[in-house]
Amino acid sequence: MDAKAIYIGMDLGTFKTSVASSAGIRDVIHTAVGWPRDQVARTMLGRDVVFGKDLIEHRLAVNIVRPFEKGVLKYNSPDDAGVSADQITLYKQAARLVVEHAVSLTRPPKGVPIYGVIGAPSRASILNKKVLLEAAQHAFDGVMIVSEPFSIAYGMNRLSDTLVVDIGAGTTDICPVYGTFPREDEQVTIAQGGDVIDETFYRLLRERYPQAQISLNMAREIKEKYGFVHDVNEQALVMLPVNGRPQQFDVTEPLKEACKALVPLILDGLGEVISRFDPEFQQRMLQNIVLGGGGSQLKGLDRVIEDALKEFGGAKVKRVYDAVFAGAVGALKLAMSMPQDYFHQLKMAQQPCETEAEVSV
């Protein structure tokens, strides 16, 4: 470790980006950039680019770009995501600005080298890792891309016999950790996460209560407050406007249906990862399942997974203590424990690289 350098761990998510620095500063922002819509908006805002809370406050005056939405730049090719070449340039620029802004929030002193570890989805393709490295190029002197679930496990000192399930907005990543960097083909990325729950819940609500006025954003807020997947007596009663006047609605059933839809996908993914290991490891990993990412906060998820895994001989499922910062803190810990020459090697990897070994660990 270079005592003069600053180390930064970053969880570069579809929805939120969290950072933690060796100077003890943490922060979290939406993974989004806003450009003023016109000259009037630019004058009103007094700047060319808007981040964080200002995006919500001034959303009518800015064009918002979420660079990783629908897996663009992360695990999908532009064609799969239905995005044009021009848009891809804009998305790449937005990704770079988000990384640079997130790093600036940690207030690194001028002239000091900055080394970072960035968490990315476990199965991000080589092409996508290049994109992430490009986004990080100007913000860091040395950078390393690791799988998000691995950084969560590293932060919790769960370096062996552990299975991490990272439930984000765009993806759910499942990664086995057994004392070394996981290979790409050992991990599973499910192209669904909290966003799909929100969309399903929103659709079901509109079908059930067409008179209620609701936005996708409101649906997500309800999910974050009440979301659950178990069969215990949960009830979600919320106030929603009807012709402008608030009324109470029971949203328990649609909410449960939307949240539960992710469970079989997680169980299939777990089954797939577990069955690849030899039986002795399988049992130990089942006793050490960690749920991370914002979606890990769905009530009852740990118990539902434990119940479903009884047929595998039983399992123990635990949530991370801090769903917002677990990835960034793990990435910081990893950055601080990497030998310095490793970062020099990684610095070279910022140049266009052809082989996976150069960009991924």
- What pairs with residue 249 in β-bridges? 238
Question: Residue type for 175, please?
Answer: C
Within 10 angstroms of residue 260's Cβ, the number of other Cβ atoms is 19
**Structure tokens of 100?**
């640079």
Contact (CB, 8 A) for 108 and 22: no
Between 217 and 340, CB nearer to ligand ATP: 217
DSSP tag of 182:
P
Name which of Mg ion, ligand ATP, none residue 294 binds, using a CB cut-off of 5 to 8 Å depending on partner kind. Answer: ligand ATP
Between 182 and 295, CB nearer to ligand ATP: 295
Binding test (CB under 5 A) with Mg ion, winner from 168, 170, 176, 269:
168
Least distance in angstroms from the C-beta of 76 to ligand ATP: 12
Taking residues 302 to 321 in sequence order and writing x for each that binds ligand ATP by CB under 6 A, - otherwise, the string is --------------------
Contact (CB, 8 A) for 129 and 120: yes
Least distance in angstroms from the C-beta of 38 to ligand ATP: 30
Name which of Mg ion, ligand ATP, none residue 21 binds, using a CB cut-off of 5 to 8 Å depending on partner kind. Answer: none
Name which of ligand ATP, Mg ion, none residue 155 binds, using a CB cut-off of 5 to 8 Å depending on partner kind. Answer: none
Distances (CA, A) of 333 to 1, 10, 17, 52, 155: 11, 11, 17, 25, 6
- What pairs with residue 114 in β-bridges? 6
Taking residues 147 to 186 in sequence order and writing x for each that binds ligand ATP by CB under 6 A, - otherwise, the string is -x-------------------xxxx---------------
Binding test (CB under 5 A) with Mg ion, winner from 5, 6, 7, 13:
13
Between 45 and 117, CB nearer to Mg ion: 117
**Structure tokens of 122?**
């476990």
Within 10 angstroms of residue 202's Cβ, the number of other Cβ atoms is 21
By beta-carbon distance, which residue lies closest to ligand ATP?
A: 194
Contact (CB, 8 A) for 120 and 132: yes
- Which is it for the CA torsion 19, 25, 28, 29, positive or negative? negative
Binders of ligand ATP among residues 206 to 225 (CB under 6 A) are: 220, 223-224
Contact (CB, 8 A) for 146 and 359: no
Residue 128 binds to ligand ATP (criterion: CB under 6 A)? no
Taking residues 34 to 73 in sequence order and writing x for each that binds ligand ATP by CB under 6 A, - otherwise, the string is ----------------------------------------
**Structure tokens of 29?**
């922002």
Binding test (CB under 6 A) with ligand ATP, winner from 93, 213, 252, 297:
297
Least distance in angstroms from the C-beta of 173 to Mg ion: 8
Between 5 and 99, CB nearer to Mg ion: 99
Q: What does the alpha-carbon distance between residue 236 and residue 224 come to, in Å, rounded to a whole number?
A: 11
Least distance in angstroms from the C-beta of 47 to ligand ATP: 24
Pick the closest to residue 331 from 170, 98, 144 (CA basis). Answer: 144
Name which of ligand ATP, Mg ion, none residue 27 binds, using a CB cut-off of 5 to 8 Å depending on partner kind. Answer: none
Name which of Mg ion, ligand ATP, none residue 123 binds, using a CB cut-off of 5 to 8 Å depending on partner kind. Answer: none
Contact (CB, 8 A) for 116 and 9: yes
216-226 helix and 252-260 helix, angle to the nearest 10 degrees: 90
Between 36 and 96, CB nearer to ligand ATP: 96
For residue 135, the SS3 value is helix
Residues near ligand ATP (CB under 6 A) are: 11, 13-16, 148, 168-171, 193-195, 220, 223-224, 227, 293-295, 297-298
Residues near Mg ion (CB under 5 A) are: 13, 148, 168
